[in-house]
Structure 1
Amino acid sequence: MSHQTDLDTRTGLSDELLFLLRQYPRQAWDAHPNLGGMARFWLDRHNGFRQLGGVLEDALSRFREGEMEPHAFGAFFAPRLQQFLSELHHHHMIEDQHYFPVFMAAETRLTRGFEVLEGDHEMIHTRIEQVIASANGLLGHLQGTDRDAIRRAADGYAVDSDRLIGGLMRHLDDEEDLIVPLILERGEGPLGIG
Structure 2
Amino acid sequence: MRGMDQNLTLERRDGLPDHLRVLLDALPRSGWEAHPNFNGMVQFWLQRHLMFRDVLGRLRTDSETFLDGNVDRVKHARETSRYAGFLLNELHAHHHIEDMHYFPALVGLDARLGEGFELLDADHQALDGHIHALAKTTNGFLHAVNQPGGRDAAGKLHTALTGFESFIDRHLTDEEDLVVPVILKYAPKL
Q: TM-score, normalised by structure 1?
A: 0.92
- Partners of 2:132 and 2:123 in 1: CA distance: 14
Q: Which letter maps to 1:119?
A: A
1:82-122 per-residue CA deviation (whole Å, 9 max, x = no partner) reads 11111000000000111111111212211100111111111
The answer to whether the 8 A contact 1:60-1:158 is kept is yes
- Partners of 2:129 and 2:120 in 1: CA distance: 14
Please name the residue that 2:165 is paired with.
Answer: 165
Q: RMSD of the alignment, in Å?
A: 1.2
- Partners of 2:92 and 2:165 in 1: CA distance: 13
1:177 maps onto 2:182 in alignment: no
Deviation at 1:142, TM superposition (A): 1.5
1:20 maps onto 2:17 in alignment: no
Deviation at 1:174, TM superposition (A): 0.3
Q: For residues 61-100 of structure 1, what are the structure 2 equivalents within 5 Å?
A: 61-100=64-103
Q: Which letter maps to 1:136?
A: N
Q: TM-score, normalised by structure 2?
A: 0.94
- Partners of 1:129 and 1:3 in 2: CA distance: 22
Task: Give the number of aligned pairs.
Answer: 187
Q: Structure 1: where are the runs of 5+ without partners?
A: none
- Partners of 2:29 and 2:134 in 1: CA distance: 31
Deviation at 1:41, TM superposition (A): 0.7
Deviation at 1:3, TM superposition (A): 4.8
Q: For residues 122-133 of structure 1, what are the structure 2 equivalents within 5 Å?
A: 122-133=125-136
SS at match of 2:156: helix
The alignment-based identity, stated in percent, is 37
1:41 maps onto 2:44 in alignment: yes
1:55-79 per-residue CA deviation (whole Å, 9 max, x = no partner) reads 1111011111111121121122110
Give 2:61's match in structure 1, choosing from 37, 58, 61.
Answer: 58
The answer to whether the 8 A contact 1:134-1:156 is kept is yes
